[in-house]
Amino acid sequence: MVTAEAPAGVGELLRGLRREAGLTQEDLAEAAGLSVRALRDVERGVVATPQKETVRRLADGLGLVGPVRDGFESAARGRAVAGGVASATRTLPRDIASFTGREDELRWLVDAAAGVAGVVDIHAIDGMAGVGKTALAVHVAHRVADRFPDGQIFLPLHGHTPGQEPVDPEDALASLLLAVGVAAGQVPSGVEARTALWRDRLAGKRMLLILDDAVGSEQVLPLLPGVGAGLVLVTSRRHLSALEDATVVSLDTLPAGEAAALLIRLAGRRDLSPDDPGVAEIIRLCGYLPLAIGMVARQLRHHPAWTVAGRAAELAASVDRLALMALENLSVAAAFDLSYEDLDADQRRLFRRLGLHPGPELDVHAAAALDGTSPAAARRGLEALYDQNLLSEIAPGRYRMHDLIREYARALAGRDDPAADRERALAGLLDYYQHAASRAEALIARRTRSGPGEALVPADDEQALAWVRTERAGLLACLDHAAGTGLDARVVGLTAGVAELLRLDGPWAEAVVRHQAAIDAARRLGDRLGQANALCGLGAVRKLMGEYPAAARALEEALDLYRELGNRLGEANALQELGNLRQQTGEYVTAVQALDEALGIYHDLGRRIPRPAAGGR
């Protein structure tokens, strides 16, 4: 057995207990009715054996009870407890009666507990703030507690606790050793010595340990048992990728059915059902996040006069949904604050910039455009945010923000960043999308239009089409943003960039609306070339819809504009579309004339013939 060669003094023990309780010296001094100077003297060892009344006040201020209090008082007075120190090895928080869902994860962890034999089984439960990591770990622990007769210990590591620093591994080990019956005076100094004694005490025992809210793998590693048939559940907002041999359980938000069941259960409204439109709207606006759902549900329970439909309408209409998701001193925004505070300055700036993106997801190049950095720097930043579960990685190199986290990031940008910086970030993003989409559209259609230039997209038509399809939601969201903020030049440019995508994939009715908006924007700008391009796109879509007269009018107007501008390439494009249209309407003579004229212009310009329109769709 490992022996303690250098027992911890009362000052070191007091400092560890204070940090474990999340108290500053000022907090504890006030709680104990002592001066800060008196407390500092004890912690620094100036007073090696404080008076009995001082010890009692400190124990009261720390809220110590049972064997931990006995051990502290005995160590402070420089003597051992008669008969040794009793252990406190069943310290799980109460189970949550309203626990709902997570059946797959629950089954997995319960089955894992049943299979523990001879080795320490470690499971790292990670997820974004408010997703229910601790609730799941505690619920599992109560379900399997009888399989671990030597104890079930819950140790908060305070990785994200307001006003508290993360627990130092050395202090955490002191708490664990006290819990298993090591006398306070026999707790050694140093992480290595404490780890050795902790592992010695657990050898051969069946014990369950929850290490809650870890800040990182370095905090957890010294606390892991060495041998024995034990189960360790670690919860963290971070991906604990350096925790070797740990099985990762990553929690996502709840499925819609489980989210509705949680809301109904916590609201205590017998008249509610999962089919209620108000229930569906609330859980959607809460982003299916258990923390947010729980807060809104408890508001409904506390206010019987409120209706579900009314609360849903208030959430939908609010410009700050997060402000409505709060109870007493708890809020969803406060939970997000703690994750944000873990980031360095560059990561925080990138996080705020990502909140400005109008679309639901993005890649490294879009992030670099938003943040004004290189793709390599953006990749590092995205990985850091993913590591903190502030982003999810939906495909290699593609990331998505949860709706509430995006709203939180956008609010931070509005609060912390000057308007000029926000406008510059969005302009960089729109530049990127406009340039890339223009290049991709030209490759897909095999025709060139007026556009802002080259961009970072694949060099062949198949990869270009794959790119615009992947980026469709972001491109259209940026187009909507441009239209909603009166950026007419952006509307013209972005619509031209998605013209071929809309023609190939539709919906064509939406394409008509977007092309008409681009035509109107170009007219306001006096951009006749942009107007001609949009008219040509509109005519092509009208033709696909079988609206031949309207298609002909748009294409003829485009042709007239191209000719007035002396734009030979645009003229050829319009003629080709008109020729195909005339062929479909049985006007073969005029069809041949238009197509021959287009072919002659392409030949004169040294251009290859563009891909035909997707009329056979």
Residues 368 and 325 placed together within one structural domain of the fold: no
pLDDT tens digits along 50-76: 888 888 899 888 888 766 777 777 777
Q: Which of 82-86, 326-330, 553-557 tops mean pLDDT? A: 553-557
Residue for token digits 């590693």? Answer: 221
Q: Where are the alpha helices (DSSP H) in 417-487?
A: 419-445, 461-470, 472-484
Q: Does 238 map to a domain?
A: yes
Q: Does 526 map to a domain?
A: yes
Q: Does 140 map to a domain?
A: yes
Residues 57 and 180 placed together within one structural domain of the fold: no
Strands 398-400 and 361-363: antiparallel
Residues 492 and 509 placed together within one structural domain of the fold: yes
Residues 409 and 267 placed together within one structural domain of the fold: no
Residues 216 and 108 placed together within one structural domain of the fold: yes
Pairwise CA distance, residues 535 & 56, whole Å: 85
Classify 42 as helix, strand or coil.
helix
Which pair of structure tokens corresponds to residue 378? 């953006």
Q: Does 92 map to a domain?
A: no
Q: Does 435 map to a domain?
A: no
Q: Does 613 map to a domain?
A: no
Host domain of residue 504: 441-605
Please state the domain count of the chain: 5
Mean pLDDT of the chain: 88
pLDDT tens digits along 225-268: 987 778 999 999 999 988 888 999 999 999 999 999 999 999 99
Pairwise CA distance, residues 202 & 181, whole Å: 11
Residues 486 and 566 placed together within one structural domain of the fold: yes
Confidence of residue 444 (pLDDT cuts 50, 70, 90): confident
Whether the pLDDT of residue 615 is over 70: the answer is: no
Task: Look at 344 and 451; give whichever has higher pLDDT.
Answer: 344
Residues 109 and 188 placed together within one structural domain of the fold: yes
Which pair of structure tokens corresponds to residue 591? 């069809």
Q: What is the CATH number of the domain that holds 163?
A: 3.40.50.300
Residues 355 and 286 placed together within one structural domain of the fold: no
Pairwise CA distance, residues 63 & 58, whole Å: 8
> Which of 200, 235, 250 marks a domain boundary?
250
**Which has the closest alpha carbon to 514: 530, 541, 495, 489?**
495
Cis before 358? omega within 30: no
Residues 569 and 597 placed together within one structural domain of the fold: yes
Classify 471 as helix, strand or coil.
coil
Strands 398-400 and 392-395: antiparallel
For range 524-549, the mean pLDDT: 95
214 and 169 in contact (C-beta within 8 Å)?
Answer: no
Q: Does 561 map to a domain?
A: yes
| First-last CA distance in the chain | 78
**Which has the closest alpha carbon to 167: 237, 218, 201?**
218
Residues 457 and 600 placed together within one structural domain of the fold: yes
For range 359-387, the mean pLDDT: 95
Pairwise CA distance, residues 191 & 82, whole Å: 27
Cα distances (Å, whole numbers) of residue 347 to 351, 359, 367: 6, 20, 12
Q: What is the CATH number of the domain that holds 49?
A: 1.10.260.40
> Which of 316, 334, 352 marks a domain boundary?
334
Q: Does 279 map to a domain?
A: yes
Pairwise CA distance, residues 369 & 455, whole Å: 12
Residues 246 and 161 placed together within one structural domain of the fold: yes
Residues 160 and 293 placed together within one structural domain of the fold: no
Q: Which helix (H) or strand (E) segment is 409 a member of?
A: helix 403-416
Whether the pLDDT of residue 116 is over 80: the answer is: no
Confidence (pTM)? 0.81
Beta bridge partners of 330: 327
